[in-house]
Amino acid sequence: MRKKFLSMVCCLSMTAALLAGCSSATEGGNTEGTAETASETTAGDDGGSTDYKIALITMDSIDQHWVTLNEGAQAEAAKEGVTVDFMSPDTKDDSKQIECVNNAIAGGYNAIMVAANGPDAISGALKEAIDAGIKIVYVDSPANVDAEATFSTDNKAAGKTAGEQMLKALDSKGISSGDIGVVNVNASTQSTVDREAGFREAFDGSAFNILETQYCDGDAAKAQNIAENYITQGVVGIFGGNEGSTTGTGNAIKASGNTDIVGVGFDKSDSIQGLIKDGYLLCTMAQNPDVMGAKGVEACVKALKGEKLGGAVTDTGVSILDAAALGGAASAADDGAGDAKAAGDYKIALITMDSIDQHWVTLNEGAQAAAAEAGVTVDFMSPDTKDDSKQIECVNNAVAGGYDAIMVAANGPDAISGALKEAIDAGIKIVYVDSPANVDAEATYSTDNKMAGKIAGEEMLSALSDKGITSGDIGIVNVNASTQSTVDREAGFREAFDGSDFNILETQYCDGDAAKAQSIAENYITQGVVGIFGGNEGSTTGAGNAIKASGNADIIGVGFDKSDSIKGLITDGYLLCTMAQNPDVMGSKGVEACVKALNGDSLGGEVVDTGVTVLKKGDF
């Protein structure tokens, strides 16, 4: 009866998800697994394939440039009928990007679209991907490995244009000499290195002195500190090599109050556009990341269908965005402008446990859809892996970035609490999605995880009973011991077996990684378990793959979240069922709550259960 009741409760949400064409997999609010191997079957419609799975790996998952690139990729993926998973690290780091490529290989992706941090560091991993039969397409920044195609900006030419714009502005102020600062990402990211080279070239033969470059790793707060130091040295201009560098530069000029300093940079974010309109930046070189994303997906599909693209390199263009192009400048002295913040100006940070699992990707999709309706901005700025310190850093970045609200899925109830309290002290509204922390918030939208875990246990008990099995060992693969949502699921699962003759073994943790989960589950199988429970997407996928590899379909596997891999394992009989949450509902309701709170409504800390449904073979 409970199962029927929950199915009825979730009916509307599931119907909405199906109508929305969620290619997503729903994750159990906690993991970091990659999506798994694509099915080998192809759809018969027009010879196309809806089974192609493409990994999109950019330099980070936070900058709006990459978010916009992903939006272009997702739009094209919907047209092509393929899946694109945005599985980028939270910060620019070669080892993290290499790990993302390795995860894509292990996850059985058909193609990888990648913006390489640098030309060499990632090359070995990409060669392994190619050896595994994966197609490579570059977007924004290539590596020194041959690929099917590249879609990027002519960065050196664009950097030179930025320099010429600064020279003109300085000339119009009667300034013909002086020091100029350069804030860049790092010394190895080819795209930004090329931009700087072009910028410096524009000043050849002039009386200006370009100072030694300072690096900020693309972090806006670090960039602001660097730019403020330049300003104390009396620079007449500052160049930012990417979004974070440019935002930090503009914020430093704003803080100094000296609008005679000419700031120019790259990329188009709401923050940068605002700084230009208010007179703190002269202009930005706006690339077309949405075009890169769309063209990249199109190239992947063509390559996967056997077309030869010949390694073509396509310049996706750049535009100069200044105050006039953005609809006119509001003077920096116009103190009254913008004091009454309109709904369209609200900026919301979405910080989940990681940026890779399909559960979080789907939650973000729900949030973005609601944001479009409400006329607000939601930035998906999550770490690449579940790590308390990284999640705390994301919260701190949101505070430093002047966000109005934070939607957060806390790794655990306590670790992030201090950072959230600081955000609240800064006037930021907090809304929980999936997993709350021990800090009062405006509202919480999540699954009743303990109840859902108990239902999973009852499903396993019923299936074992049908096989005539009344005792035996059962293994549990979970994420970690601190993520409250998965801890609650496990507690509910164990509760279902109270009073039975089954022995629940000690839990093993995989950090949400499907490959680790598979190894753990294989060890359980060698111990002769009769069932295995997976606490989230990666755990469940790994358990199903282990049962598949063992060839023993008598082992009962149940778990959480809804991904293509999990659905395939259920359809093929290697998993009994999964508890499917509704992350898109969490995302959309979370945005709605943020807007209400920012508009002055009191939500009273309400806690809303967004439902769960038992999905079995035949439900897909």
Q: Each residue of 180-217: pLDDT tens digit?
A: 999 999 998 888 999 999 999 999 999 999 999 999 98
With tokens 């950072």, the residue in question is: 419
Distance CA 208, CA 45 (A): 61
Distance CA 448, CA 613 (A): 12
Distance CA 274, CA 254 (A): 11
Query: Sheet of 135-139: strands edge to edge?
Result: 83-86, 53-57, 111-114, 135-139, 149-152, 312-315
3-state secondary structure of 315: strand
With tokens 């923050």, the residue in question is: 271
3-state secondary structure of 508: strand
Query: Shortest CA distance to 281 belongs to which of 240, 319, 317, 318?
Result: 240
3-state secondary structure of 340: coil
Quick count: other Cβ atoms within 10 Å of Cβ 306? 6
Quick count: other Cβ atoms within 10 Å of Cβ 596? 17
10-residue mean pLDDT profile of the chain (620 residues): values are: 35 32 33 31 38 94 84 92 92 91 96 93 96 96 93 88 93 94 92 94 96 93 96 97 94 93 90 90 89 94 92 80 64 29 71 87 90 90 89 95 95 92 96 93 90 92 94 97 89 95 97 93 97 95 96 95 89 94 89 91 84 81
Q: Does residue 351 contact residue 394 with C-beta atoms inside 8 Å?
A: yes
pLDDT tens per residue, range 286-329: 888 888 999 999 999 999 999 999 898 887 877 788 887 775 43
Tokens of 170: 């300085």
**CATH, domain 155-287, list 3.40.50.2300, 3.30.56.10, 3.20.20.450, 3.30.60.50:** 3.40.50.2300
3-state secondary structure of 369: helix
Side-chain-facing half-sphere of 280: CA atoms under 13 Å: 24
Query: Shortest CA distance to 562 belongs to which of 575, 544, 549, 581?
Result: 581
Bridge partner residues of 54 (DSSP): 84, 111
Per-residue pLDDT at 288:
83
Which amino acid, one-letter code, is at 13?
S
Is pTM beyond 0.85? Reply is no
| Angle made by CA atoms 154, 160, 161, in degrees to the nearest 5 | 90
Residue 380 DSSP one-character state: E
Distance CA 608, CA 88 (A): 30
Tokens of 173: 């102020």
Distance CA 140, CA 155 (A): 9
Strands 347-351, 377-380: pairing is parallel
Side-chain-facing half-sphere of 459: CA atoms under 13 Å: 27
Per-residue pLDDT at 280:
95
CATH second-level architecture of 49-153+290-313?
A: 3-Layer(aba) Sandwich (3.40)
Any idea where the domains of the chain sit in the sequence? 49-153+290-313, 155-287, 449-580
Distance CA 533, CA 547 (A): 12
Tokens of 60: 């980070």
Tokens of 613: 């449904």
Q: Does residue 112 contact residue 101 with C-beta atoms inside 8 Å?
A: yes
CATH second-level architecture of 449-580?
A: 3-Layer(aba) Sandwich (3.40)
Distance CA 72, CA 294 (A): 5
Per-residue pLDDT at 327:
59
Query: Shortest CA distance to 517 belongs to which of 494, 536, 490?
Result: 536
With tokens 């967004």, the residue in question is: 610
Q: Does residue 394 contact residue 354 with C-beta atoms inside 8 Å?
A: no
Strands 405-408, 429-433: pairing is parallel
Distance CA 403, CA 105 (A): 36
Query: Shortest CA distance to 73 belongs to which of 88, 91, 55?
Result: 55
Distance CA 595, CA 600 (A): 9
3-state secondary structure of 402: coil
